[in-house]
Amino acid sequence: MFFHDCFVRGCDASVLLNTTTNSTAEKDAGPNRTLQGFDVVEQAKAAVEAVCPGIVSCADVLAMASRDSVSFQINRSAWKVQTGRRDGLVSRASETAGNIPGPNANFTSLLQNFQSKSLTLKDLVVLSGAHTIGVRHCSIINRRLYNFTGKGDTDPALNATYAAVLKSQCPPGDAVATVGMDPGSSVSFDNQYYQALKQGKGFFQSSKIVGKLLLGSSDFLTEFGQSMKKMGAIEALTGAAGEIRRTCAVVNS
């Protein structure tokens, strides 16, 4: 969710805003419809507001929640979060286009997308490691499994055994079922994701190229934290810009 927030209008918690009668919000755009955890962020914000009202922004709560979700997995603080962000006032679904890369984006377009946010090739590769945990809907990979070139074929870059497993979990046309993005390790935050890519077990089409660039590193967690801090600074609102929302789903009245 933090990535989806930062890549549209910067890290301003605009992805948390609800749709209004005047505007469809980012969270209701196609690339964001599968995002979950909005209620968890809202609960965290409410707990903070009860202690120090009007001080901690939703943007900072989201940044810290992202860090803590990793810290919980590794039983220690993953990285230090720089705070001081303020919350944006605008959220438009139309702005996700061109900012949130699609699941079938090729490596060139992914790199251009990251570079437009002042992130590097290394950041792209390292942040792709976030896919080591979590699930995605089968609709994302259905084309690669059943109709890769429009002839009812399977993407040859997929490991045959892995493709068979995915087909058993993702029937043709199923848009509801989910599957782990890191086979065998989708509930653990580790560098196993890169080893899976090496074996042709990448969920996304661009994964096969990412896997050739970085297969794993003993410093993965350190590098991941550094790239997350860089991403967390994208177009952050500070000073008098924006506001400190009282609740994350709506702007202050």
Find the CATH number of the domain harbouring 62: 1.10.520.10
Question: Is residue 239 situated within a structural domain?
Answer: no
With CA atoms as reference, report the closest residue to 60 among 187, 210, 236, 239. Answer: 236
> Which of the four pLDDT bands, split at 50, 70 and 90, describes residue 240?
very high
Binding residues for heme b: 131
In this structure, the answer to whether residues 6 and 92 fall within a common structural domain is yes
Yes or no: say if 216 and 195 are a contact pair by the CB < 8 Å rule. Answer: yes
- Distance separating alpha carbons of residues 233 and 208, to the nearest angstrom: 28
Per-residue pLDDT reduced to its tens digit, 111-151: 899 999 999 988 988 888 776 666 777 888 888 899 999 99
Question: Is residue 74 situated within a structural domain?
Answer: yes
Between residues 205 and 99, the one the model is more confident about: 99
**Helices marked H in 132-238:** 142-146, 160-169, 192-198, 207-213, 220-231
Per-residue pLDDT reduced to its tens digit, 26-70: 999 988 988 889 999 999 999 999 999 999 999 999 999 999 988
> Which of the four pLDDT bands, split at 50, 70 and 90, describes residue 167?
very high
- Distance separating alpha carbons of residues 36 and 161, to the nearest angstrom: 30
In this structure, the answer to whether residues 24 and 110 fall within a common structural domain is yes
Of 1, 2, 3, 4, which residue is the catalytic one?
4
Token readout for 172 is 């043709």
Question: Is residue 94 situated within a structural domain?
Answer: yes
Binding residues: 5, 8, 10, 12, 14, 26, 101, 131-132, 182, 190
In this structure, the answer to whether residues 156 and 183 fall within a common structural domain is yes
Question: Is residue 148 situated within a structural domain?
Answer: yes
Tally the domains of the chain.
2
Using the CB atoms, write b or e for 218-228: b if 16+ within 10 Å: eebbebbbebb
Per-residue pLDDT reduced to its tens digit, 172-224: 988 788 887 666 655 556 666 667 677 666 665 555 555 545 544 557 788 88
Examine the residue annotation and report whether 137 is marked as an active-site residue of this protein: no
In this structure, the answer to whether residues 51 and 99 fall within a common structural domain is yes
Question: Is residue 253 situated within a structural domain?
Answer: no
In this structure, the answer to whether residues 104 and 42 fall within a common structural domain is yes
Which runs of E-coded beta strand occur in the chain? 135-137, 178-180
Question: Is residue 213 situated within a structural domain?
Answer: yes
| Domain, as residue range, for 212 | 131-225
| Residue whose pair of structure tokens reads 């080591």 in the numeric block | 132
